[in-house]
Amino acid sequence: MEISSDMVRTLRDQTGAGIMECKEALSQTGGDVEKAVDWLRKKGLKTAEKKAGRATANGLVGSYVHSNNRIGVLVEVNCETDFVARNEEFVQLVKDIAMHVAAARPMALSRADIPKDVIERERAIYAEQVKALGKPEAAAAKIVEGKFEKFYAENCLLEQPFVKDETKTIEALIKSKVAKIGENIQIKRFVRFEIGLE
């Protein structure tokens, strides 16, 4: 099948991928634009995984202040080059992450960042809840672990569903941007302020 310039343009508009990548995706999928989008996404995620170990010495500090001026967020997002740090798509990503932190109130960036005393307290609470249900010991351990998975998804920034698109987590959002932009991107740290909360 011949790949027309209109097909390539349509795919580029949808994905932001380069001309040669779009041509390859269309030829691999027999000219089916929807399948080509999926093909590019799969290839992009593999590329993102390869880039994950690369150093991120540039980036931006983004901020968000809620309209009522009672919630404010600072977030540091790193990338590999200053060129990407000034890229409009990267700048928007940083803004989106700051806004997400304001809305979703994550406790920590990842599981490893949650303090041990918080984990121990939660484990004790979950164990008491399960004990009150009278479940067998083997089932109780699985229920407690299930509760922890939910706890992590609610409190770890990287595992939270993105507030603008709850079909993907923040981690998946970052990986999709790595695939599209072509550089490693990492959230380094964040801080959230809210009047009346310490």
CATH number at residue 25: 1.10.8.10
Is 32 found in the same domain as 94? no
Domain span holding position 132: 115-155
pTM above 0.75, yes or no: no
Q: Give how many domains the chain has, as a whole number.
A: 3
Confidence of residue 132 (pLDDT cuts 50, 70, 90): confident
Q: What percent of the chain has pLDDT over 70?
A: 90
Give me the pLDDT at residue 52, please. 58
Is 160 found in the same domain as 100? yes
Give me the pLDDT at residue 117, please. 94
CATH number at residue 71: 3.30.479.20
DSSP-derived secondary structure for the chain:
----HHHHHHHHHHH---HHHHHHHHHHTTT-HHHHHHHHHHHHHHHHHHHTTS---EEEEEEEE-TTSSEEEEEEEEES-HHHHT-HHHHHHHHHHHHHHHHH--SBSSGGGS-HHHHHHHHHHHHHHHHHHT--HHHHHHHHHHHHHHHHHHHBGGGSEETTEEEEEHHHHHHHHHHHH-S--EEEEEEEEETT--
Q: What is the mean pLDDT of the chain?
A: 86
Per the rule left: phi > 0, alpha: psi between -120 and 50, beta: everything else, 31 is left
Q: Is 2 or 149 the better-scoring residue by pLDDT?
A: 149
Confidence of residue 45 (pLDDT cuts 50, 70, 90): low
Residues 182 and 176: beta-carbon distance below 8 Å: no
Residue entry with tokens 């041990």 = 116
Is 161 found in the same domain as 151? no
Q: Is 178 or 109 the better-scoring residue by pLDDT?
A: 109
Two structure tokens written together for 65: 């202040």
Residue entry with tokens 């009346």 = 196
Is 150 found in the same domain as 161? no
Residues 190 and 100: beta-carbon distance below 8 Å: no
Is 164 found in the same domain as 176? yes
Is 63 found in the same domain as 46? no
